[in-house]
Amino acid sequence: MRLAGVAKAVTLVIVVVPFLATLVAIRLLWMRAVHWSDLVLLAVMYTLIAFGVTVGFHRMLTHRSFRPHPAVKLVLLILGTMGMEGAAVQWAATHLKHHALSDRDGDPHSPVQGFFHAHVGWIFAGTEADPKVYCRNLVEDPIVMFVSRTWVVWSLLAVAIPFAIGGWSGLLWGGLVRICLTHHVTWSVNSVCHTFGKRPFATRDRSRNEWIVGLLAFGEGWHNNHHAFPRSAFHGLRWWQFDLSGYLIWALARLGLAREVYHIPPTLLARAKSSAATPAAAPTGVPAPAE
Ligand SMILES: [Zn+2]
Ligand SMILES: [Zn+2]
């Protein structure tokens, strides 16, 4: 009980402090120009850690979209943990629960319970999933469990590295503002992409494609595509659907650092497209939600 209270307090600090620090950063920016090195630090930290979340936590760990080289796996999991969105195994379990129960009773973060709940409120609602139920295979994976058990170390690194490089302004921009951006962009996939945007596929949920989130979240905004084909390594399915995470997986495969990259079988894609084109058609049930 006491431990749960501490966990809630820590979560509150992790959510609120970076947001307030961003307001401080904007105020400082207003009073004097920010140094370019702070913005470079912000951009580099954001890019590396966003890949950790999108390619590492989401596509590799949760959906097994490709099989990584063990070193790549370790690096991606550490970068993802620096996103300060909790331990890897817990992240995967909660996300698999979202796919299993999308926009129905038990979905950890559906806007059916309100936009604010889907965005950030759910974090405080105690709707976390049990990894032993949703991803038993990951609980038995030594690399996943090592990074998950040491998540505090990697989370501290996420603020220690920018402080070591840029001092207090580095901590502010590369650390706290970066955390705030990572959080809100990730949360927007849960809130915005289940509320606004287009639905090219008739999935059994409210998932939508929203291009702005697609840009900011390195391809994760093509969320209706993702719910229709959860295991696909590419969330952008058209040439104009910018999917930076998909391009990284492609590059890793070319370098021999990733194999068994999952591509949607053309027949499955054609079937999903034709059923979406028929208004009365049943929702596509492909592939299995937990994959
Ligand atoms: Zn979703
Ligand atoms: Zn997913």
68 φ/ψ angles, rounded to the nearest 5 degrees: -90, 160
How many domains does the chain divide into? 1
Please tell me the predicted confidence (pLDDT) of residue 90: 96
Of 281 and 196, the one with more pLDDT? 196
The answer to whether residue 161 sits within a structural domain is: yes
The answer to whether residue 95 sits within a structural domain is: no
Q: What is the pLDDT of residues 146-155, one digit of tens each?
A: 999 999 999 9
Please tell me the predicted confidence (pLDDT) of residue 8: 67
Q: Containing H/E element for 74? A: helix 70-81
Q: What is the largest CA-CA distance in the chain?
A: 59
Say which ligand is closest to the CA of 235.
Answer: 2
Q: Are 283 and 202 in contact (CB under 8 A)?
A: yes
Q: What is the pLDDT of residues 230-270, one digit of tens each?
A: 999 999 999 999 999 999 999 999 999 999 999 999 999 88
Of 272 and 112, the one with more pLDDT? 112
Whole-number Å distance, alpha carbon 9 to ligand 2 midpoint, is 28
The answer to whether residue 176 sits within a structural domain is: yes
The answer to whether residue 289 sits within a structural domain is: no
Whole-number Å distance, alpha carbon 221 to ligand 1 midpoint, is 10
Q: What is the pLDDT of residues 38-63, one digit of tens each?
A: 889 999 999 999 999 999 999 999 99
Please tell me the predicted confidence (pLDDT) of residue 284: 40
Whole-number Å distance, alpha carbon 227 to ligand 1 midpoint, is 6
Whole-number Å distance, alpha carbon 291 to ligand 2 midpoint, is 9
Whole-number Å distance, alpha carbon 34 to ligand 2 midpoint, is 36
Say which ligand is closest to the CA of 98.
Answer: 1
Distance CA 167, CA 144 (A): 32
Distance CA 211, CA 219 (A): 8
The answer to whether residue 119 sits within a structural domain is: no
Check residue 123 and report its DSSP letter.
G
The answer to whether residue 216 sits within a structural domain is: yes
The per-residue DSSP string of 206-273 comes to ---B-HHHHHHTTTTTBHHHHHHSTT-S-S--STTS--HHHHHHHHHHHTTSEES-----HHHHHHHH
Amino acid code (one letter) for 59: R
Whole-number Å distance, alpha carbon 82 to ligand 1 midpoint, is 22
Range of the domain at 15: 2-88+133-277
Whole-number Å distance, alpha carbon 207 to ligand 1 midpoint, is 6
Whole-number Å distance, alpha carbon 236 to ligand 1 midpoint, is 15
Please tell me the predicted confidence (pLDDT) of residue 31: 64
Whole-number Å distance, alpha carbon 169 to ligand 2 midpoint, is 35
Beta pairing partners, 222: 209
The answer to whether residue 284 sits within a structural domain is: no
Asked if pLDDT for residue 288 goes beyond 70, the answer is no
The answer to whether residue 39 sits within a structural domain is: yes
209-234: average pLDDT: 96
The per-residue DSSP string of 263-277 comes to ---HHHHHHHHHHHH
- Of residues 38, 77, 68, the one with CA closest to residue 155: 77
